[in-house]
Amino acid sequence: MSTSIIEKTIIRPVEKELVYRLLYDVATLFSSIKSFRLTARNLEVNEISGYWAERSLFAGVSLPIKVKGEVISEDTVVNHLESQGFKARIEYKIVPVFYAVHINVRGQCEGDTSTCTRIVNSFLKELENLLKKPPQPVLTPPKPAPRAQPAKPAAPPQPPAVKPPQLASQPPPATREVVPDVSRFFDEVAIAMMLFNSELISVGELEPPWAVSTLMEGIKEKAGSLSQYKLGLVTLKDDGVDIVVFVDQRGEPLGLFGRIESSVIRGAQSDLNLLEKYLSTRRIAYRIWGVRQLPP
């Protein structure tokens, strides 16, 4: 069966929660799309039926389509589309980056890829315009199912200890992990690219008054997970606050970049006290991300 891939990034200055709920609530979403005519809905399973209208200079064609919305994670939603001759899966990864929400869209078509690709591209174009002034969704997305943790293999039996022979020369020192210079990532576009290539490890909240040490304890608790990635990002958000703390694979801080109100904040590991100085009286939500691929 032939397949095709459609990828697109949409950036809009709207709240992440609103976009997340709207993309899940397919009845509200597709009834706001001009090319779609809704004929039936099932709110219990978040599924709708309707017709997609394709118009040309000489005639119009309506294709019956079923759409279902699904939650994958706290930042990822999927729409499943099915029609005569094709199926489509449209995945949205929604990441708030400073003043805007970045929506990384990946559509996959199976079957009649020509028709499917044309409809998905047309839908995404209308979606991009719709998000300039999005409607209020009705449904509340369910909490995503927890990700299954891979089973740890049993440790092999240890061989009996053998006293090593005495060597005349000392072995060379072990190679140290290369720590990236994170100052080259002090840019909103670079951070957005990394978040798109990252996985959410954990979420938390800092209750005032809090100290930087409290935040670092929460990060280092996830050092086992962070060790699987090239870099860690910790995003801190509140009204007027958008900060990213860069950490290494052990959870040690490398630097920070972001905004507090209208002021740009950037600094090295030693500047983390700025967080405590300006934000310790606020309730701050934070997320820990593992970055698999760094920008060039």
Q: What is the pLDDT of residues 271-292, one digit of tens each?
A: 888 898 889 999 999 999 999 8
Residue among 136, 93, 100 nearest 13 (CA): 100
| Cis? peptide before 209, omega within 30° of 0 | yes
User: What mean pLDDT comes out for the span 146-159?
Assistant: 58
Whether 117 and 233 share a structural domain: no
Among 108, 130, 152, the domain boundary falls at 130
Among 115, 130, 145, the domain boundary falls at 130
CATH code at position 52: 3.30.530.20
Whether 99 and 215 share a structural domain: no
- Classify residue 165: in a domain, yes or no: no
- Classify residue 177: in a domain, yes or no: no
Domain total for the chain?
2
Whether 13 and 112 share a structural domain: yes
CB 90 within 8 A of CB 81: yes
Q: Which residues on adjacent β-strands are paired with residue 48?
A: 41, 67
Least confident of 50-64, 81-95, 228-242: 50-64
pLDDT on residue 144: 86
Q: How far is residue 183 CA from its own chain's centroid? A: 22
Task: Identify the domain containing residue 257 by its residue range.
Answer: 182-291
With 0.85 as the threshold, say if the pTM is over it: no
What is the distance between the alpha carbons of residues 284 and 276, in angstroms, rounded to a whole number?
11
- Classify residue 146: in a domain, yes or no: no
- The Cα-based distances of 257 to 193, 208, 220, 223, 250 in angstroms read 15, 22, 20, 21, 20
Instruction: Reply yes or no on whether the pLDDT at 175 is more than 50.
Output: no
User: What mean pLDDT comes out for the span 194-218?
Assistant: 91
- Classify residue 105: in a domain, yes or no: yes
Tally of CA atoms within 13 A in the half-sphere of 194 that contains its CB: 27
Whether 123 and 187 share a structural domain: no
- Classify residue 222: in a domain, yes or no: yes
Instruction: Reply yes or no on whether the pLDDT at 55 is more than 70.
Output: no
User: What mean pLDDT comes out for the span 162-187?
Assistant: 63
pLDDT on residue 151: 53
Least confident of 37-41, 43-47, 54-58, 127-131: 54-58
Whether 125 and 223 share a structural domain: no
Whether 114 and 201 share a structural domain: no
User: What mean pLDDT comes out for the span 176-193?
Assistant: 80
- Classify residue 170: in a domain, yes or no: no
Whether 125 and 188 share a structural domain: no
Confidence at 207, pLDDT banded by 50, 70, 90: very high
What is the distance between the alpha carbons of residues 209 and 284, in angstroms, rounded to a whole number?
10
Query: Which one is predicted more confidently, 34 or 180?
Result: 34
CB 87 within 8 A of CB 65: no
Q: Taking the CB of residue 104, how many other CB atoms lie within 10 A of it?
A: 20
User: What mean pLDDT comes out for the span 118-141?
Assistant: 95
What is the distance between the alpha carbons of residues 70 and 44, in angstroms, rounded to a whole number?
12
Mean predicted lDDT score pLDDT of the chain: 87
Whether 198 and 104 share a structural domain: no
- Classify residue 232: in a domain, yes or no: yes
